[in-house]
Amino acid sequence: MPEIDDRPSPAGEAVVLSPGSPLFNKYELGKLLGCGAFAKVYHGRDIESGQSVAVKVVNKNRLNNNVNLMANIKREISIMSRLRHPYIVKLLEVMATRTKIYFVLEFVKGGELFARVAKGRFSEDLSRKYFQQLISAVSYCHSRGVFHRDLKPENMLVDENGDLKVSDFGLSALADQVRPDGLLHTLCGTPAYVAPEILSKRGYDGARIDVWSCGIVLFVLTAGFLPFNDPNLMNMYRKIYKGEFRCPKWMSPDLKRFLSRLLDTNPNTRITINEIESDPWFKQGYTQPKCHETEDLSTVAKEEQQQQQQQRKLLDLNAFDIISFSSGLDLSGLFHDKPRPADYVERLTAEELPEKVIEKVEEAVNAENGGVRLRRKKDCGLELEGQNGNYIVQLEVYRLTDKLVVVEVKREAGDANIFSDLWKDKIRPLIVRRPEQQVSGD
């Protein structure tokens, strides 16, 4: 694979690639769509399918000295890889070089919701439509233990069908981040959208602060301005904490009542997602989104996946696990300086069925007849013990796709150098069809 040139590119231009080499031989990058302090987003095209994508490029060098940002990136990958909902931007793939991380995302053609409302407030019916879609997405996230924590029109896109797509999960939290008091404590969010309990610094419920932010979004869509705003940040926080806002006269009485429940400064009495979905104003014209885009997360799909795992005896990997398999893509290794492991490890890819890989290893070892003992493991793996126990090596096979597996070889005991010749000369050539398929050799 031709190397990617990671030199900085001028604003407005695509990432610089070596001549004739698309990004990872998979995507052509086009114009710059947006730019932040640590990332740029480009329009891209899948070379094989012709599908448009968005490619978010994160500069690792700017993350190395910021522990919080490093954690956010890893968490964002982990979170987005598990979310599949019609009103949430889909993460298609994550790739990396030594200096950059590439998020390949669903391309949403219509741009930010903020850009639309900035031109003028929406009708109550249109605002309700977007709010219904927002609540559908947020409810889905909460059911999977994900709290967005930065919901605002700038983080919402509109597709070519006029439907909402929630994006930017960089500040999201997972349920396992909740402290023993049952609350989250990290101060985050956009000032005009933060809930009053965040300002109190005594901890907060992730679901309830998302509801508050949804209330701010609904107010902005129907009013055309923020409910809490002041040139002086402390004055704005004071208004938020006291819940001082006024609804414009063009809002219907039902909407005003509904907003008062969404923007209740007391999180314990604030309306919940379930109560929102039962509210008369919310329910007007509401239909549940089609679930075909979330089938992979349905109960049926989970059961099917479990059956496949039992049949194949494999460990399936999500996008975050795949990244961590290579020293070139291992986020933890790139974020923190740490010594190379003493164990002999090699990881490579092969276009082969997992069971076939195991058979090939057994074939190579048996043909060598060098006193190596083989023991099959519970999952798709082998333990190889050298003559007189001079080494023990574990070999595991993990499925990446229907056609691609990762083979991991790791020393458990003894001297792996004794095993090295057998591996390189006899076993490895049988597994790898083309040398360029190797992912890494640590």
Q: Just list the catalytic residues.
A: 150
- Structure token pair of residue 149: 């924590």
Burial profile 110-147: b = 16 or more Cβ within 10 angstroms, e = fewer: bebbeebbeeebbebeebbbbbbbbbbbbbbbbeebbb
- Structure token pair of residue 68: 């919080």
E strand map for 47-171: 52-59, 91-96, 100-106, 146-147, 156-158, 164-166
Dmax (CA) for the chain in angstroms is 88
- Structure token pair of residue 20: 């004739």
Residue 15: how many other CB atoms lie within 10 Å: 20
Residue that has been written with the tokens 């070089």 in this structure: 97
Gap between the Cα atoms of 276 and 148, Å rounded: 18
Please name the residues in contact with 382: beta carbons below 8 A apart, sequence gap of 6 or more.
358, 361, 362, 374, 375, 376, 394, 395
Gap between the Cα atoms of 195 and 262, Å rounded: 11
